A and B are shown apart, each in its own frame.
Chain A
């Protein structure tokens, strides 16, 4: 996960996006990441797209439990309780 001291190119940056968004980069790495972003439209757009992807994923609904599964588990519970 360490980055060369001087250069961080676009191809390397995209591999660090998750660590960046998770707050897992060291202070120095983060500074280099931000410095690259400030000078690079492509990577700025990329990070924006990644944020949009995450935000959009967050709008998906969590699946419901199927009625069959719920019924089976209710049954299992009653069996358990009876013993």
Chain B
């Protein structure tokens, strides 16, 4: 195994190869939710995404002996997922990931509505500072959660992996096979929509 593999990954791989069920369950608990979200970028329904993820885990088990450690375990698993999901997405002839990605990037989507700016590009209506106390209220968090749920699947996957789960830009790029620019554009558009939802909610009277 080459040196790129972290000691934790190496250990996990060793345990999986030895048939350690708890090692497998640990891996599932840490990756399954992200796998589901990413799968949704490629297939049209949550049920299909679950199938794809299940198929991915079986492929991981069947392939673990051949895993060479040239990428992190996480990246390797996501590669299997995206391949499985793409095949399934094509079979379903419904949602094809990178064409939907293209659509998402197709037209320019301004981060802030045009009407907020004057003709010369300055704020017509200044953003108002958000009230600290309301920011931390449970209700605000559920507004935030719903805003993320409503994002197009690719933006939702990137925002969740980056901002909820704390992955680095490189980890996301590798796992989803995105260019640097695409990763940033999806993050930018997703975050901008989430900010708008919060602004809208926080500008209403409590």
Chain A residues within 8 Å of B, Cβ to Cβ: 9-12, 14-15, 17-19, 22, 24, 40-43, 45-46, 48-50, 52-54, 56-60, 62-65, 69-70, 72-74, 76-78, 80-81
Contacts and interface: CB of A to CB of B under 8 A. Distances in A.
Contacts of B199: 49
Contact of A19 (B29, B62, B130, B184): B184
Contacts of B112: 11, 14, 46
B184 A22 contact: yes
Contacts of B192: 14
Interface of B: 19, 21, 24-25, 28-29, 32-34, 36, 50, 53-54, 57-58, 61-62, 110-112, 114, 117, 120-123, 126-130, 135, 140-141, 144-145, 148, 159, 163-166, 169, 184, 187-188, 191-192, 194-195, 198-199
Given A45-B127, A52-B130, A81-B19, A69 B184 contact: no
Nearest to B132: A52
A8 B115 CA distance: 18
Closest 7 CB pairs of A and B: A9-B121, A18-B188, A42-B123, A11-B121, A57-B163, A63-B33, A42-B126
A41 B126 contact: yes
Given A10-B117, A49-B198, A58-B166, A77 B24 contact: yes
B21 A74 contact: yes
B145 A60 contact: yes
Per DSSP, chain B at the interface is helix
B184 A76 contact: no
Contacts, number: 128
Nearest to A23: B169
A80 B120 contact: no
Given A15-B110, A73-B28, A78-B21, A65 B191 contact: no
Most chain A beta-carbon neighbours within 10 Å: one of B117, B195, B198: B195
Which of A17, A70, A76, A80 gathers the greatest number of chain B CB atoms within 10 Å?
A: A80
